[in-house]
């Protein structure tokens, strides 16, 4: 089985279409989304529609929660708060209802032979607090959670907008930034994997980021592809959203 792993779409229609086309070209079987379909960008309805159509498994991100009233906007940056308030005005009732149904995390069985995989936007330890797994220290805290319901082989996360892999194997921990690389999954190891951001990368590379996981070969590929950034920026400005949201798309920050 081949899975596409996407997340942090952030209402960026141009990048989402480019990623879906590439996933189709590569022949993935199912798609997993780590949340934040909306926020920041100018096409929340279109992005919700696409994710509903293509994704087998989806979890709620903090911006999804902010738009539907689950996340307190006082904790958002001014630009993030503005974009959530704008999104509330333009998003359809149907998409609001759908976003409200998304779980904070969920367990899936990727194959009949594999251990469980978990999907969460932020952290397993406290998904509704919207903390970040930015470094190895953050990851170790998640690996060391003793709740038996959270045992996993792979946990796919989002939120930081940076493609990165954390690994625990025989009590030792490691970190690997994913730059157009293949990762071979080691039997008996545990992983926390962030595919990066489809719609607003923050690792200095403005290209859309996602991953592909082949469960038969046990290989995770990190993919970066260009998309029409200028059109996405133009829509943000025409919507009256902050110009910094448009500027950062071409900088990858």
- Say what the pLDDT of residue 181 is: 73
Residue 148's pLDDT band, with cuts at 50, 70 and 90, is very low
Which percentage of the chain shows pLDDT scores above 90?
85
| DSSP calls for 178-244 | -SS-EEEPPTT-EEEEEE--SS---SS--SEEEEEEETTTTEEEEEEE---HHHHHHHHHHTT--HH
**What is the mean predicted confidence (pLDDT) over 207-232?**
96
Domain CATH number, residue 64: 3.60.21.10
Sequence-ordered list of residues with C-beta below 8 angstroms from that of 89, at least 6 positions apart, any chain? none
Whether residue 146 has pLDDT greater than 90 = no
Predicted confidence at residue 182, as pLDDT, reads 87
Specify whether the CB–CB gap between 193 and 211 falls below 8 A: yes
DSSP-derived pairing of the beta strands 190-195 and 154-156: parallel
pLDDT in tens, 30-40: 999 999 999 99
Cβ count near 191 (within 10 Å)? 22
Number of domains the chain is built from: 1
Structure-token match 């709620």, residue found:
60
Q: Is the pLDDT of residue 178 over 70?
A: no
Average pLDDT, the chain: 93
pLDDT class of 147 with cuts at 50, 70, 90: low
Q: Which residue did the predictor score with more confidence, 33 or 110?
A: 33
- Note the pTM of the prediction, 2 decimals: 0.94
55 vs 181, which has greater pLDDT?
55
Q: What is the pLDDT of residues 184-215, one digit of tens each?
A: 999 889 999 999 999 999 999 999 999 999 99
Instruction: Give the residue numbers spanning the domain of 8.
Output: 2-251
Distance CA(86)–CA(222), nearest Å, equals: 32
């Amino acid at each position: 089985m081949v899975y596409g792993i996407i997340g942090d779409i952030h209402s960026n229609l141009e990048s989402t279409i480019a990623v879906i086309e590439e996933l189709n070209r590569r022949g993935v079987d199912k798609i997993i989304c780590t949340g934040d379909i909306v926020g920041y960008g100018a096409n929340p309805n279109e992005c919700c529609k696409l994710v509903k159509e293509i994704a087998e498994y989806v979890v709620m991100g903090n911006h999804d929660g902010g738009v539907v009233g689950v996340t307190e906007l006082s904790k958002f940056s001014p630009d993030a708060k503005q974009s959530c308030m704008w999104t509330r005005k333009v998003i359809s009732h149907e998409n609001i209802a759908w976003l409200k149904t998304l779980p904070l995390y969920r367990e899936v069985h990727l194959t009949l032979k594999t251990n469980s995989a978990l999907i969460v936007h932020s952290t397993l330890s406290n998904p509704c607090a919207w903390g970040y797994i930015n470094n190895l220290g953050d990851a170790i805290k998640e690996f060391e959670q003793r709740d038996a319901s959270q045992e996993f082989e792979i946990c796919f996360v989002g939120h930081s907008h940076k493609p990165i892999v954390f690994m625990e194997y025989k009590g030792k921990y490691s970190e690997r930034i994913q730059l157009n690389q293949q990762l071979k999954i080691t039997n008996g190891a545990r992983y926390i994997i962030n595919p990066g951001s489809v719609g607003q990368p923050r690792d200095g590379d403005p290209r859309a980021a996602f991953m592909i996981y082949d469960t038969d070969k046990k290989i995770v590929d990190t993919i970066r592809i260009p998309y029409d950034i200028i059109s996405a920026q133009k829509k943000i400005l025409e919507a009256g959203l902050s110009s910094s949201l448009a500027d950062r798309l071409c900088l990858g920050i």
